[in-house]
């Protein structure tokens, strides 16, 4: 079956079909057609799922009809086009031809009705097909940082290990108030063996203290929702810069700069300036105020300095790094994303 990409506009309820590749070129509307329809066709023993794709072929295997299911169990009226004599190439069927149908790329059985092509006729043809539905996680999303009034997209790499065209829904729930999962606005399609990336988006609140939101997500087959991939991912809410926490007034020339890169994994560079020689210690504190690491940097002379910090031993999250000197200390924030 030719590759099909569809976008579902949930807000308006409109389903737009875009055919990529040979399918568009092969379907040539002509003045001759039969309209096929049915209200009780099935796939996997259940009424056709909205978003399912019905295709029709003539005895020469010419694709001459495509329809998208909008209502459960119902397809049509699907025009299946006939060949216009004297034209090249062959556009479709001729009177009396038996039409072959597929549902989501799988051979469909005609349960009842007349599947032959008859120009200008309408025919109720009930179809049925089955398939193997299977899904494998190829890449799971990783934690991300977000600031206020922002939107973050998380992607999940999945492979269709079934034997027919499949399409997927995504749902997610948040652990904290103020963080919201945005409604799904895209239907994700994959051919057998194809790997695609589906996504969900989370919006952050206008303001919040430093916190971690845990989102639970599920990617599932629309054809069989029991076939799914479940997971969790963290979203760290942080305001980039943090002032000296206790308001200590420090001598001119002592400064601690924002680490880079930030977020980081697992190493980052911390830079600071000293106005005079001083003992220096680097401390790392988690969002609960616990000291999780420290490093004695010794006695350093006046001027600019930098240290590479390796956080391999820490979990993903928001941390504070503090440079302590004889003149006082300054604190800034960093985000570790693994």
Nearest to 268 by CA among 316, 305, 318, 308: 308
The model's pLDDT over 105-129, given as tens digits with 9 standing for 90+, comes to 999 999 999 999 999 999 999 999 9
Q: What is the pLDDT of residues 252-291, one digit of tens each?
A: 678 999 999 988 999 999 999 999 999 999 999 887 778 8
**pLDDT for residue 88:** 79
Mean pLDDT, residues 195-211 taken together: 82
pLDDT digits (tens, 9 = 90+) for 66-93: 999 999 999 999 999 999 887 878 889 9
- Please write the tens of the pLDDT for every residue from 90-111: 889 999 999 999 999 999 999 9
Query: What is the C-alpha separation between 91 and 269, in angstroms, rounded?
Result: 65
The domains located in the chain, with CATH, are 4-129 (no CATH), 135-237 (2.60.40.10), 255-336 (2.60.40.1930)
Tell me, what DSSP letter sits at residue 205? P
E strand spans, 10-47: 14-19, 33-38, 42-43, 46-47
* Closest C-alpha among 136, 137, 154, 156 to residue 146: 154
Mean pLDDT of the chain: 85
Residue 241 clears pLDDT 60, i.e. is over it? no
User: First and final CA of the chain: distance in angstroms?
Assistant: 40
How do residues 288-321 score in pLDDT, each as one tens digit? 778 899 999 999 999 999 999 999 999 888 888 9
More confident residue, 85 or 249: 85
Q: Any idea what the Cα angle at residue 65 is, between residues 60 and 68, rounded to 5°?
A: 145
Q: What is the 3-state composition of the chain as percent helix, strand, coil, each rounded to the nearest 5?
A: 0, 55, 45
Spatial distance between the Cα atoms of 211 and 319, rounded to a whole number of angstroms: 11
Structure tokens, 106:
């799988």
Whether the per-residue pLDDT at 18 is higher than 50: the answer is no
Report pLDDT for 205: 82
Instruction: Give the least confident one: 5-9, 50-54, 166-170, 225-229.
Output: 5-9
Res. 19: pLDDT tops 70: no
Mean pLDDT for 201-228 is: 86
Provide the pLDDT confidence category of residue 61 given band limits of 50, 70 and 90. Answer: very high
Task: Specify the pLDDT at position 252.
Answer: 64
Torsion angle of the four alpha carbons 90, 94, 100, 104, in this order, in degrees rounded to the nearest 10: 50
Instruction: Check if the beta carbon of residue 92 is closer than 8 Å to that of residue 82.
Output: yes
- The answer to whether 10 and 60 are in contact (CB under 8 A) is no
Q: CA triplet 166, 168, 171: central angle to 5 degrees? A: 165
Contact criterion met (CB below 8 Å) for 126 and 38: yes
CB 306: neighbour CB atoms within 10 A? 11
Q: How far is CA 249 from CA 214, 245, 255, 279, 280, in A?
A: 38, 11, 11, 18, 17
Q: How far apart are CA 54 and CA 76, in angstroms?
A: 9
List, for residues 148-183, the tens digit of each pLDDT value: 778 888 999 999 999 999 999 999 998 877 788 888
Residues linked to residue 139 through DSSP beta bridges, in sequence order: 157
| pLDDT at residue number 211 | 73
Helices (H), the chain: 22-26
Task: Quote the tokens at residue 156.
Answer: 């999940």
Is pTM, for the whole model, over 0.75? no
Note the pLDDT of residue 209.
Answer: 65
Residue 267 and residue 272: Cα distance in Å, rounded?
17
Q: Is the dihedral of CA 312, 313, 314, 320 positive or negative?
A: negative
Residue 26's φ and ψ, nearest 5 degrees, are: -75, -30
pLDDT value for 287 = 74
Average pLDDT score over residue span 221-250: 71
Provide DSSP, 230-294.
EEEEEEEE--S----TT-----TT-EEPPPBSSSBSSEEEEEEEESS-EEEEEEEEETTS-EEEE
% of the chain at pLDDT higher than 70: 86
For the segment 224-234, what is each residue's pLDDT rounded down to a tens digit? Answer: 999 999 998 88
The pLDDT of residue 337: 87
Closest residue by Cα to residue 16 from 51, 49, 43: 51
Q: Which helix (H) or strand (E) holds 202?
A: strand 195-203
């Amino acid at each position: 079956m030719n590759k099909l990409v569809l976008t579902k506009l949930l807000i308006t309820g409109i389903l737009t079909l875009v055919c990529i590749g040979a399918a568009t070129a092969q379907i040539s509307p002509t003045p001759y057609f039969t309209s096929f329809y049915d209200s009780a066709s099935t796939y996997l023993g259940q009424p056709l799922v909205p978003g399912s794709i019905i295709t029709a072929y003539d005895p020469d295997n010419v694709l001459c009809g495509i329809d998208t299911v909008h209502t459960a169990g119902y397809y049509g009226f699907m025009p299946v086009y006939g060949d216009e004599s004297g034209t090249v190439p062959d556009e479709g069927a001729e009177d009396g031809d038996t039409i072959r149908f597929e549902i989501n790329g799988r051979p469909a059985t005609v349960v009842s009705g007349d599947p032959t092509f008859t120009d200008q006729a309408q025919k109720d043809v009930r179809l049925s097909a089955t398939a193997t539905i299977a899904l494998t996680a190829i890449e799971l999303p990783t934690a991300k940082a977000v600031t206020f009034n922002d939107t973050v997209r998380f992607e999940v790499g999945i492979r269709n290990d079934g034997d027919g065209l499949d399409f997927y829904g995504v749902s997610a729930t948040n652990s904290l108030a103020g963080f919201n999962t945005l409604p799904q606005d895209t239907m994700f399609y994959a051919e057998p063996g194809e790997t695609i990336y589906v996504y969900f988006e989370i919006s952050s609140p206008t303001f919040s203290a430093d916190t971690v939101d845990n989102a639970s997500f599920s990617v599932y087959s629309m054809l069989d929702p029991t076939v799914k991939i479940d997971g969790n991912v963290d979203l760290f809410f942080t305001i980039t810069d943090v002032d000296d926490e206790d308001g200590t007034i420090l001598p001119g020339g002592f400064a601690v700069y924002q680490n880079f890169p930030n977020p980081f994994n697992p190493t980052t560079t911390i830079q600071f300036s000293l106005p005079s020689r001083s003992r220096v210690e680097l401390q790392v504190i988690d969002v609960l105020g616990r000291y999780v690491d420290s490093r004695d940097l010794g006695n350093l002379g006046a001027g600019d300095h930098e240290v590479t910090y390796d956080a391999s031993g820490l979990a993903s999250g928001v941390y504070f790094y503090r440079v302590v000197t004889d003149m006082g200390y300054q604190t800034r924030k960093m985000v570790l994303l693994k």
